[in-house]
A and B are shown apart, each in its own frame.
Chain A
Amino acid sequence: MSLIQTLQAIQDSDAAQAFLGSRYLYPAVESAHVLGLALSVGLLAIVDLRLIGALMRRQPVSDSLDAFRPWMIAGFALMFVTGAILFWPEAANLYVNSLFRLKMLFTVAALANALSFEFGIGRRAHTWSDPLRPPAAARLAGFASLTSWSLVILFGRWIAYGFGAHP
């Protein structure tokens, strides 16, 4: 069975379609996915704006990194779990949706950027020569993060309008 056939079988399964048609469960998961933005992208935006020097300039960058890291990880865990559940009853439709592919592309790019920051220059945040002004690479990572997550939100919202669907 090819990938698209497998996805179609997942999408057509009784459980998936019952979930999609549920009166409260589907809207609840979808709302959790949208409101999880506050925990994930909202807190991330504060850290990114701190990195690029647009916010909290008098406080060390490592303070906001350390303070929000566990909350952001919880927020992104919520986004990925609810996102996977929402994918399930529309697996095949989304797989061929061009905006969904773009959303996944920028999600991967944003994650790669976050991981390279966390295990690279961000890990040494406590020893940056100037705790108030991050090195250029860290500022660039903050800018890349803001841009890619904003695009993820853009494509994600537009999928729900039916844009990008396969003809």
Chain B
Amino acid sequence: MSLLPIFEWVAKTPVGVAIAKSTYFFPVVEVLHLLGLSLLLGVVLALDLRLLGVTLRRQSASAVASSLAPAFSIGLIVAVFTGTCLFVGEPLKCFFNEAFWWKMGLLALALATQAVLFRQMTRPKAPVLAAQKAIAVASLSLWFGVGVAGRVIGFI
């Protein structure tokens, strides 16, 4: 079964039509998307650097993870909400854009990795193991991939 009918339906909803017609909706929402992803990626970077043991060593990994978790959630909520709004305005462009599917796939993997990473980091006094460092590298690479794919959507 193709997802195309669903995407076509989204494009025809009143919200989809209104967003597609609006001149200022995209510029405003896209800036909010950028602000959200800046915070999100900043937190991811900070967590991964701590897990790799290259910075913030004065604090335990679990303290860093639990204190940055709210910022991660806020960045993610803002990025996903604004991203969904942008999607609703041009679902068909997304459907036929290869980079969009790469971005969604990488995003799913990045979120799964992040969930594992938070679980690892919030274990009390967990030693920094090679496996944790591998997770940090995977997290950095996947989020970087999400960012690149997201940017490429606009180039295609």
Task: List A residues at the B interface (Cβ < 8 Å).
Answer: 27, 30-31, 34-35, 37-39, 41-46, 49, 55-59, 63-64, 67-68, 71, 150, 153-154, 157-158, 161, 163
A45 with B31, Cβ < 8 A, contacts A55-B70, A63-B56 known: no
Q: Are A157 and B31 in contact (CB under 8 A)?
A: yes
A34 with B55, Cβ < 8 A, contacts A43-B45, A56-B67, A150-B35 known: no
Q: Which of B30, B44, B58, B148 contacts A63 (CB under 8 A)?
A: B58
Q: Which of B38, B152, B155 contacts A41 (CB under 8 A)?
A: B38
Q: List 27 A-B contacts (CB under 8 A).
A: A34-B147, A37-B37, A37-B41, A38-B38, A38-B44, A42-B39, A42-B43, A42-B45, A43-B46, A45-B39, A45-B42, A46-B43, A46-B71, A56-B68, A59-B59, A59-B63, A59-B67, A63-B59, A67-B46, A67-B55, A67-B58, A68-B46, A71-B49, A71-B55, A150-B35, A153-B35, A157-B27
Q: How far is the CB of A160 from chain B (nearest CB, A)?
A: 9
Known: A42-B45, A45-B38, A153-B38. 6 other contacts (CB 8 A): A27-B155, A35-B151, A38-B42, A43-B46, A64-B56, A157-B31
**Interface residues of A, dominant DSSP:** helix
- Does B95 interact with chain A (Cβ within 8 Å)? no
- Does B94 interact with chain A (Cβ within 8 Å)? no
Bound complex: CA of A55 vs CA of B68, how far in Å? 7
Q: Are A55 and B148 in contact (CB under 8 A)?
A: no
Q: Are B35 and A38 in contact (CB under 8 A)?
A: no
Bound complex: CA of A157 vs CA of B154, how far in Å? 13
Bound complex: CA of A60 vs CA of B83, how far in Å? 34
- How many residues of B are in contact with the other chain, CB < 8 A? 31
- Does B144 interact with chain A (Cβ within 8 Å)? yes
Q: How many A-B residue pairs have CB under 8 A?
A: 91
**Interface residues of B, dominant DSSP:** helix
Which residue of chain B lies nearest to A43 when distances are taken between CB atoms in the complex? Answer: B42
Q: How far is the CB of B79 from chain A (nearest CB, A)?
A: 12
- Does B34 interact with chain A (Cβ within 8 Å)? yes
Q: Are B67 and A58 in contact (CB under 8 A)?
A: yes
Bound complex: CA of A92 vs CA of B51, how far in Å? 45
Q: Are A67 and B42 in contact (CB under 8 A)?
A: no
Bound complex: CA of A34 vs CA of B148, how far in Å? 9
Q: Are A46 and B35 in contact (CB under 8 A)?
A: no
Q: Are A58 and B31 in contact (CB under 8 A)?
A: no
Determine which residue in A38, A39, A59 has the highest number of CB atoms from chain B within 10 A of its CB, and name it: A38
Q: Are A154 and B58 in contact (CB under 8 A)?
A: no
Q: How far is the CB of A6 from chain B (nearest CB, A)?
A: 31
